[in-house]
Chains A and B, each alone.
Chain A
Amino acid sequence: MNLWPFVLYAALVLITAGSMIGLSAILGERHKERFTNQPYEGGILSEGTARARFSIKFYMMAMFFVVFDLESVFLYSWAVAARDLGWVGYWEALIFIGVLVAALVYLWRLGALDWSPDTRRKTR
């Protein structure tokens, strides 16, 4: 088979990327003054470390979102073809929801849904 287009394409990609970085490194100005590394004019001055610690609940929130989002995606695609899939499809969807409910119950019992710190039970 003809490899040339591929090789050419790959070469062009490398050349483009390389020249963008390389040329700016060669041609670009270099400052090393006091405010060189500060955001320009309208930006906000950074403060503290970038490794800020967030409450676990943000992650919880994100995870719950992903879980239920995915659930709705699957159910949507099932709903479109529900008549074609018949009872077997219905049961399969039911099992799917059942497993998710089980997981939800588990998380609930674990206290993952208790929002404020004081109501959270000690489970351990």
Chain B
Amino acid sequence: MSSADFVALLPLIVLGATAIVVMMSIAFRRSHALASTLTLVGLAVAFWSLWPAAGEVPRQVTPLLVIDRFALYYFGLIIAATFAVVLMSYGYLERHDVRREEFYVLLLVAALGSAVLVSSDHFISFFLGLEILSVTLYALSAYLTERGIALEAGMKYLVLAAASAAFLLFGMALVYAETGTMSFPQLASDFAAGGAAHLWVLAGIAFMVTGFGFKLAVVPFHLWTPDVYQGAPAPVTAFVASVSKGAMFAILLRFFYQSGSRDLHATLLIFGIIAIASMIAGNLMALFQNNVKRILAYSSIAHLGYLLVAFEAGGLFGAAAGTFYLTAYMITTLGAFGVIAVLSASGRDAEDIEDYRGLFWRRPGLATVFTVMLFSLAGIPLTAGFLGKFYTVAAGTNSSIWVLIFVLVATSVIGLFYYLRVVVALFATEHIPSDAERPLPVVPAMGGVTLGVLALALIWLGVYPHVILHAIQSAMSGIF
């Protein structure tokens, strides 16, 4: 391993090392402030290390990992999102009577798993990253052990994720059995030579779709989403919805683009069906839902459907549109769950739509942030969500996938209904619950600032997307 390899791997190494350092600090001095500060410092250093790493890309480090601009872009996203999650977790955990410090160790390991995932171009590292991520997420989902619903969420996630991982593994095995290789570039050359037409390969890919689909929570692998979103603590839900899905989408792009299996007729058909079903089911199921966390869960199903439209569109444009959409979506999700996190008292999370009735008159700042987030989810202009959707539709029209575009537009309209339902509740002037009925906790300073920054980032992206678009364009060099 040369020093250049070492520099390229620096973000991963820093993440891993930070996890151990935080664990050691807990062993010798249990302090919430210390653990969270060390975590933030570690994440900041990891983010900084992207720049030296950028000097060494693209670089194949061992047969398992490839560090290229694509991986680095997603590293940046993952690290930044984890940073935001840590900031909003601090205040959230302070209100709960649990062992708080280990939360950060788990979070760091989950971030490490995601980072491995986005930089893997080999089945082994793919599966390794996925499992590192999943195992920590089981624990994180059930972190608030005094809550039955959290245990339930963790348990469901564990059982179903394990089942889906088995399918993924089986699919990989089938592909390997036929082609004799597990590395994406070699698969590409094998497929190009006609190996893709083989039934085992096709069946293998179909099985792998289950693994992808489960983590992305798309129909018909989506049923766990609302239960887990609702049960898990709000910051964990934010992480599951943003980082874990983001990393999974990245590896989806990388695997299917790099191995050339995206262009298979079967792949396009399956993902087309999944996209349509997800857009319709996600949006319809959210319609009259009264639990905000579940609304966001259903909405995430729909959004992943939109993302798959970008995937279906294909080409550089489709991949770039998808990545931009995902970036916007990650910010939005973090913001929305962040609002829930800062509003949640110790007993239960603020997830009932009634908790938000007239919030604008009680906490105008939070309500404004939440409104911006919802507008972005709904795709209203001047937010990043609008541009993301716009690019996706543009990419779709470029590739003439009219059915998907039509479903996207039609279901977006349906989606508007339930986003606006929440907005209406936020600005309601009647039946506003008093402080005695529904007490509002004090908004923690760090959480509040984080939310403000997220909202500004969202509008900044919506009005001035230049910088990010440029970064995404160059990041796409990794998979083309």
Which positions in A face B, CB cutoff 8 Å? 1, 3, 88, 99, 102-103, 105-106, 108-110, 123-124
Contact = CB atoms under 8 A, between A and B. Distances in A.
A22 B27 CA distance: 58
List 4 A-B pairs, minimum CB-CB distance, nearest first. A109-B27, A106-B27, A106-B23, A102-B20
Contacts of A88: 1
Contact of A102 (B1, B24, B198): B24
Contacts of B99: 124
Interface in B1-36: 1, 20, 23-24, 26-28, 30
B453 interface: no
B199 interface: yes
Interface residues of B, number: 11
Given A88-B1, A109-B28, A123-B30, A102 B199 contact: no
13 contacts: A1-B198, A3-B199, A88-B1, A99-B20, A102-B20, A102-B24, A105-B24, A106-B26, A108-B27, A109-B28, A110-B27, A123-B30, A124-B99
Given A1-B199, A99-B20, A105-B24, 13 more contacts: A3-B199, A88-B1, A102-B20, A102-B23, A103-B23, A106-B24, A106-B26, A106-B27, A108-B27, A109-B27, A109-B28, A123-B30, A124-B99
A109 to B, nearest CB: 4
Nearest to B2: A88
A106 B99 CA distance: 14
Nearest to B97: A124
Contacts of A102: 20, 23-24
A108 B30 CA distance: 14
A109 B23 CA distance: 11
Nearest to A123: B30
A74 B24 CA distance: 24
Contacts of B198: 1
Given A1-B199, A99-B20, A124-B99, A105 B1 contact: no
Main secondary structure of the interface of B (DSSP, over half): helix
A106 B29 CA distance: 11
A110 B99 CA distance: 12
Contacts of B199: 1, 3
B210 to A, nearest CB: 19
Interface centre among A102, A105, A106, A123 (most CB of B within 10 A): A106
A108 B23 CA distance: 12
A102 B22 CA distance: 11
Contacts of A106: 23-24, 26-27
Given A1-B198, A1-B199, A88-B1, A105 B20 contact: no
Nearest to A91: B1
Interface centre among A88, A109, A123 (most CB of B within 10 A): A109
Contacts of A103: 23
A110 B27 CA distance: 7
B255 to A, nearest CB: 24
Interface in B197-234: 198-199
A99 B18 CA distance: 12
Contacts of B20: 99, 102
A103 B26 CA distance: 11
Contacts of A108: 27
Contacts of A124: 99
A102 B18 CA distance: 12
A3 B203 CA distance: 13
A103 B109 CA distance: 13
Nearest to B199: A1
A27 B1 CA distance: 67
A54 to B, nearest CB: 18
A78 to B, nearest CB: 15
Contacts of B23: 102-103, 106
B400 to A, nearest CB: 33
A109 B198 CA distance: 55
Nearest to B30: A123
A124 B30 CA distance: 9
B125 to A, nearest CB: 15
A110 B199 CA distance: 52
Contacts of A1: 198-199
Contacts of B24: 102, 105-106
Contacts of B30: 123
Nearest to B200: A1
A7 to B, nearest CB: 12
A99 B24 CA distance: 10
Interface string B140-164: 0000000000000000000000000
Interface centre among B24, B26, B27, B199 (most CB of A within 10 A): B27
A84 B190 CA distance: 30
A3 B198 CA distance: 12
B146 to A, nearest CB: 13
Contacts of B27: 105-106, 108-110
Contacts of A110: 27
